[in-house]
Amino acid sequence: MFTHTQLGGPPPIGYHTAPILLEGLGEREREGLGEVNDLADLVNIGESSWTLVHDGFRKSYNYDVECAYIVPQGIDEYHELVNWSQNKTLYYTSDWTDSHGKKVLTFDYNVMFTPEGMYCRDGEYGEICEDGKGHYLAHVTIAPVHVWHASLWSFDVEVSLPAKPVNLGSNSDPIAGVEIQMRVDTYYQDQNTGTYSYSWFVQGDGHWKAM
């Protein structure tokens, strides 16, 4: 049996998201600006797939948290853009039970993204640009919060962006949108007992939906 629930608010006290570099959005200097010919030509300058949790059958889990960044073609680093908003965090908890109703696996995690990045020819990083264009995405990722397994049970987690980013706005003021997908494979004594998939669609204007 399996349950998957979105919870409001931050993770419980004592639960810690696995280490992930979410650089302070106001702490870096803007080092140049790439040449952008089409604000609506969206690309991902980060990762498009990665193994998030691996070898859970062992005594400790291996985490590999990567991020996607949806920006206009010509931008090399997300901090070339300005007006970034605060990170959006969606906290979920997942539990698996065996045929006797005993809990055997727990995986709590955050779906995270940073919206509202704008292209601004004259703006400074960390400052407000009144004539910025676009609504782009940074730090699109999934990060473990709490992982537990009973003896002989384990799971692996894969994260991917299965499709190219899309523009939900206009050509002159794009709104980046992208799907992030997670696949969980559960195991008992290294034999696969199930595969579960979940997807979310996140947008540069801060909106999102579970798919």
Could you read off the pLDDT of 147-203 as tens digits, one per residue? Answer: 888 888 888 899 999 999 999 999 999 999 999 999 999 999 889 988 999 999 999
Could you read off the pLDDT of 89-124 as tens digits, one per residue? Answer: 999 988 888 888 899 888 899 999 999 999 987 655
Q: Is the pLDDT of residue 20 over 50?
A: no
Coil, strand or helix at 52: strand
Phi, psi of 198 (to 5 degrees): -140, 145
Could you read off the pLDDT of 27-37 as tens digits, one per residue? Answer: 444 555 667 88
Q: Is the pLDDT of residue 207 over 90?
A: yes
| pLDDT on residue 63 | 67
Coil, strand or helix at 80: helix
Lowest mean pLDDT across 2-6, 200-204, 206-210: 2-6
Which residue's structure tokens are 């990567």? 66
Which residue's structure tokens are 């059958």? 57
Percent of the chain with pLDDT over 90: 47
Q: Delimit the domains of the chain by residue range.
A: 2-18+42-210
**Mean pLDDT across 20-25:** 44
Report which of 37, 36, 119 is spatially closest to residue 80, judged by C-alpha positions: 119
Higher pLDDT among residues 170 and 15, named by residue: 170
